[in-house]
Amino acid sequence: MAIRDLKNFSVSDTGEKKDGKPAGPNWRVICYIFIFLFLVLTFITFTYLITFYPDLFNRVGRNLNTLRNSQPTENICPGGLPRFIDGYPVPAGEENLFPMAVVIGNHPDGRPAFGLGEANLVYEAEVEGGITRYLAFFANGTDIKKIGPIRSARPYFIDWIKEMSALFVHCGGSPEALAKVYKENIFDFNEFYQGSYFWRDEKKPGPYNVFTSSANLEKYLESKNLTEGKFLSWQFKEEAPAGLETEDIEIGFKSPDFVVKWKYDKIDNEYIRYLAGEVQFDGEDSREIRAKNVIIQTEAAKVLDKELRLKMETLGSGKAIICLDGGCQEGEWQKSSPAARTRYYINGEEAKFNPGKIWIEVVRPELKIAYPAK
């Protein structure tokens, strides 16, 4: 058959004969047609799913990230040393990096927060009007592209900064906090005076648009020749075997927008953080915020001014609830001076934590909390 004779072209008639009989169908052409149709249908199906069921792909991505980012607890660093800030085993030379403490906002208009999933130690405390804010400590050398939104300082944050001798990263502050920074000679890193190390995200509303990165903060520390931390570590233990299913830990901050739950994951022996009824993720990533240890620290507080800013009693002692390995035990926190490390005790003995991330929920005595007994 001549190629130009298109009128007579047929997939079942090649124009060739065998033993005087017409040849069979051209299977190669048929296969090409089926492959083409299959690709077209696949494209249409994928386009439909991603348009009308985007959450299906988000869930798959989150599960893959959870597997990829889960933190092993055994043989991660044979012969390594426990990191001072969280007890996690690391190579020699990385166990005591200089800590950076960043004030990160939690206002609904500024969510999601970026960088919390990489923090070694996080305090969450009320600032005013039932709004909570984070003080996140980083001392792990991880490259964190975006940290924030950076928010203003409060005076009780400074007492937690002092016990870690950390770089204090913030954007402004209450009058009491700024006076305390100056009076107590805090190693301060205020965006107002160090603007070149920060940037403003034009997609975010002010004042929730100030961000920095670990590279920027480390660059500043290098300019000051600061590499090693100067703080005392807590005590850590070997991680217990996976526990049983247990009840949630719930922190009843005043507004539903700030209610926190920690759900126990018995497979990884970790707690998954929920905020306002939803799993909390790190920024726009699909990594859940998790902790190996959750501490509920009760502190008396009073309102300072018409802005409803608070004064918290960070010194002395008070009730603490220490949660790890799927259960919680009542104990006590003690802090003898502004520069002294807060210590936690259960039945008179200092608490020992699991190696890994630590979250401290600072609450007023009148707040409702729920937790499973151990």
Span 274-285, average pLDDT = 95
Topology agreement, domain 82-223 and domain 247-370 = yes
pLDDT for 292-318, tens place per residue? 999 999 998 877 777 677 788 899 999
Bigger pLDDT: 247 or 332? 332
Q: According to the model, what pLDDT value does residue 78 have?
A: 57
Distance of alpha carbon 360 from alpha carbon 344, whole angstroms: 11
Q: According to the model, what pLDDT value does residue 312 have?
A: 86
Q: According to the model, what pLDDT value does residue 373 have?
A: 80
Position 340 confidence tier, pLDDT thresholds 50, 70, 90: very high
Span 263-287, average pLDDT = 94
Q: β-strand 260-265 against 249-252: which pairing, if any? A: antiparallel
Bigger pLDDT: 286 or 243? 286
Computed over every residue of the chain, the mean pLDDT equals 86
Beta bridge partners of 321: 296, 330
**Contact yes or no for 192/171 (Cβ under 8 A):** yes
CATH architecture of 247-370: 3-Layer(bba) Sandwich (3.50)
**Contact yes or no for 132/107 (Cβ under 8 A):** no
Domain spans in the chain, listed from the N-terminal domain onward: 6-52, 82-223, 247-370
Dihedral (CA of 277, 281, 284, 286) sign: negative
Bigger pLDDT: 6 or 37? 37
Distance of alpha carbon 335 from alpha carbon 345, whole angstroms: 11
Bigger pLDDT: 79 or 245? 245
108 pLDDT above the threshold of 80: yes
**What does the DSSP 8-state code read for residue 238?**
P
Indicate the CATH number for domain 82-223: 3.50.90.10
CA distances from 342 to 228, 232, 257, 292, 297 (A): 20, 10, 29, 19, 11
